[in-house]
Amino acid sequence: MRQRKLGRSELELSVLGMGCWQYGGGAYWGAQSQKDVNEVVHKALDLGINYFDTAEVYNAGESERSLGKALKGKRDKAKIGSKINTSNTQPSVLREHCEASLKRLQTDYIDLYMLHWPISPLSVKHFTDDEELISNPPSVQEVFQTLQTLQKEGKIRYIGISNHGVKQMQEVQETGVSVVANELAYNLFSRAIEDGILPYCMNNNIGVIGYMPLQQGLLAGKYPSLDEVKPMQARSRHFHCSRGKGTRHGEEGAETEINKALKEIQGVADELGIHMIELSLAWAIANEGITTTIVGSRSIEQLILNAQGGNVELSSGVIAKLNEITKPVLQKLGNNPDYYEGRSHSRIF
């Protein structure tokens, strides 16, 4: 498995990383046995996958706890990334939550500790009903000073952000605290970061971690039609606002464009003799501005298929063809990478 350096850090990450949201089981992805997690994590390490991405919010901490169990005795082989909720960033609270993550992960340090969403009332509201906190979140300066203190204490090796736009990255940089990564949605149907965010990260030596490379199963050949997508997985702006349970974006989606593109993407995969999963992952990894692309694997079979995608190298012609196929989706959804809020009230700017 190839590796790339993460921004200005000394972390060398495998180009394919492990998304751990489903670990520990929960309402969103369903049950997940610890036995399967152990097997998948150990096999991933054997295949050269060294980056494991989790967050305190994933299954109310159970994802971190499950990953910690799976890495017991193998911690030195792995790089762990975790994320703090935007609602837990007051200095004393942030410290408590970081230490709670360390305990669940059974480790003395987290390699990359990220702010899950930018500091703003709308982002805070995503995680809490506390009106006082929503109206008066801590400042960007005090949040990153606290993170820097935790870094100096050795609790975290590097500081990162997630879901930050250019202006928000500039705000963070003005604090003087070094940030080495920005984690963002990136796949054939979610290409918004290509316009401004990705070039900015590359120019400022901020590594990009791409998440949701299979668009929650849409690019896995999992659904015969978009009508088969479950409501919880149809809440993004890719779908009409009437489709998903708890949808907030209020937009019309790009279902016609996606249906057409899916058939053409499958055609490309068939021509190459590979699975749509391999093709989708290989496309994301081919962008050298992306340090690592994280994808979930619930079983050894899924892991092996995903890992094959990490080893497929696409020609420039195939990449250009896939870009052209998905261009109508990009044009319909625009260049804002917050796919769950409407563009008129985005959390990313």
Give the DSSP letter string of 263-303. HHHHHHHHHHTS-HHHHHHHHHHH-TTEEEEEE--SSHHHH
Higher pLDDT, 29 or 79: 79
pLDDT at 246: 87
Domain-by-domain residue ranges, the chain? Answer: 3-214+283-313
pLDDT at 29: 87
**Average pLDDT of the chain, as a whole number:** 97
pLDDT tops 90 at residue 28: no
Q: Return the SS3 of 93.
A: helix
Q: Are 49 and 307 in contact (CB under 8 A)?
A: yes
Average pLDDT over residues 119-146: 96
- In angstroms, the CA 250 to CA 325 distance is 26
pLDDT tops 90 at residue 34: yes
Q: Given pLDDT bands bounded at 50, 70 and 90, which one contains residue 39?
A: very high
Q: Is 58 a catalytic residue?
A: yes
CA 249 to chain centre: 20
pLDDT tops 90 at residue 224: no
Tens of pLDDT, residue by residue over 75-106, are 999 999 999 999 999 999 999 999 999 999 99
pLDDT tops 90 at residue 244: no
pLDDT at 41: 98
Instruction: Name which CATH class applies to 3-214+283-313.
Output: alpha beta
Average pLDDT over residues 165-186: 98
Tens of pLDDT, residue by residue over 255-269, are 999 999 999 999 999
pLDDT at 78: 98
Tens of pLDDT, residue by residue over 44-56, are 999 999 999 999 9
Pairing type for strands 181-185 and 3-5 reads unpaired
Burial class (CB within 10 angstroms; exposed 0-12, middle 13-18, buried 19+) of 90 = middle
pLDDT at 245: 80
Tens of pLDDT, residue by residue over 308-329, are 999 999 999 999 999 999 999 9
Q: Return the SS3 of 52.
A: strand
pLDDT at 169: 98
Q: Which residue among the candidates 58, 200, 211, 339 is catalytic per the annotation?
A: 58
